[in-house]
Structure 1
């Protein structure tokens, strides 16, 4: 991940999640068809050790079931509907999403994987993510710029674990301005990029230049408003995560 003078790359936040249920295969396929340069997902571990693409600790908000993800098996999750009544969808595993990304032949697409913390399984989450990336042959890229996967977290310890085990894998330390405006947190864990919210970026537009001066890219979330898309482009943000990948690509192309 590196910044340049071109328009920001567009990352589909949980897929084309403004149009279809988040973290579903259909939402990610729609994002790819809309021209997204990257796909973003959150991952959690099931009780039997599988990584699934879900943001919340529970399944209550996005499915027709209830309960903690960490207390359910993959088969139990697959019995639930994460789509709609007229368009049901199964829970998506990280392996299935990686397969979609690698099989997409129109253009190379990056997968941005956010590990959720704190969780009952602790460091096992990062270990499982790395194992899955190794299984698909993308855990040790030739360089950060050519990596097909990026790992992100709000937890500095999670980023440290990834950098220690896979030094060429790009990482994004997510968080608000107090965490990294001075750069110390990102420096201590060796993160290759910082990930402010768009609200933080509005308040601290100099953050992008400060990150670049330290050799880091900037990943901004969640950028949905046209004015914020233009702001990110003007400031030189490297990657912008949005619920509207197709619309955002159009805005950038017209700028």
Structure 2
């Protein structure tokens, strides 16, 4: 088993459900409303993408620009937090963009059950490694940067950039990490071992074409995180293969389907 491996052996249980950008099929993505609904629907984890603002704040935005998801326009990296807070991100809330700090607070304050937060750092970006440094500083501020073990961690850091995963593993070796990718050769090869990832993250399309990825990951002591799993047949496929985590825009549907798998 690789050091710090996380939920790599499912022991026959259904995959855990991660709400992709919140319950984003029902509420605007990356909004407080989307995450609150996901938690109410029983999500085991929630996922967010983070970017740095011009004045150094981590905000939950997927795209390089805010054009698609807000009432404004422009690059996230060229806007201040105050400017982003003035925009409408689709839920009608006056608070504008959701910060990583606000999302961590929501997840940790949710008392019904412990929920994991999956944080994806985006690359390439103008701020480079500063993104990972800021993420770790934020996790440290909330007391969740140095878990007793990967299995008990409340946070998971992910990226398509192998260098980003390596930076996290080097600075916080007990934090679980996911190396994301669409190539089975990339995820099934030596990249995950080289950077010390505790899990690999194929798309559901890649998993359909290369179902052996799950067993290969497990043999190396790694979990599998599959995205974005919205169709019941794909949810069942993930359960049959022994996938550890499924990211979905429909957490309530996924919980219902997987409860009967």
TM-score if structure 1 supplies the norm length? 0.98
Determine the structure 1 residue equivalent to 2:201: 195
CA offsets, 1:162-198, max 9 Å, x none? 000000000000002121212x000000000000000
- Equivalenced residue count is 253
Query: Residue in 2 aligned with 1:245?
Result: 251
Question: How far did residue 84 of structure 1 move?
Answer: 4.3
Is 1:152 the counterpart of 2:158? The answer is yes
1:137 corresponds in structure 2 to 143
Structure 2: gaps of 5 or more residues: 1-5
Please give the residue correspondences for 1:192-231 in structure 2 after superposition, counting only pairs within 5 Å.
Answer: 192-231=198-237
> In the alignment, is residue 234 of structure 1 matched against residue 226 of structure 2?
no
Conserved 8 A contact 2:119-2:156? yes
Alignment partner of 2:47: what SS?
strand
Displacement of 1:90 after TM fit? 1.6
Equivalent residue number for residue 17 of structure 1? 24
- Give the equivalent residue in structure 2 for 1:97: 103
> Which ranges of structure 1 fall in alignment gaps of 5 or more residues?
none
Distance 1:24 1:84 in 2: 7
In the alignment, structure 1 residue 120 sits paired with structure 2 residue 117: no
Aligned match of 1:67: 74
What is the RMSD of the two structures over their aligned residues, measured on CA atoms? 0.9
The Cα offsets for residues 42-76 of structure 1, whole Å up to 9 and x where unpaired, read as 00000000000000000000001000000000000
Partner residue of 1:163 out of 169, 174, 180: 169
SS at match of 2:240: helix
Asked whether the equivalents of residues 33 and 91 of structure 2 are also in contact (C-alpha less than 8 Å), the reply is no
Match of 1:57 among 59, 64, 70: 64
- CA deviations on 1:16-52 (whole Å, 9 max, x unpaired) are 0000000000100000000000000000000000000
Aligned-pair distance for 1:254?
A: 2.1
Give the corresponding residue for 2:3. Answer: none
- Secondary structure at the counterpart of residue 11 of structure 1: strand
Match of 1:107 among 91, 109, 113: 113
Q: Spell out structure 1 runs of 4+ moving beyond 2 A.
A: none
* Cα distance in structure 2, aligned partners of 1:43 and 1:73: 14
Q: Secondary structure of 1:44's partner?
A: strand
CA contact (8 A) 2:86 2:94 kept: no
Query: How big is each residue's C-alpha offset from its partner over 1:98-155, in whole Å with a ceiling of 9 and x where there is no partner?
Result: 0001000000000000000000000000000000000000000000000000000000
Question: If the length of structure 2 is used for normalisation, what is the TM-score?
Answer: 0.95
Is it true that 1:175 corresponds to 2:193 in the alignment? no
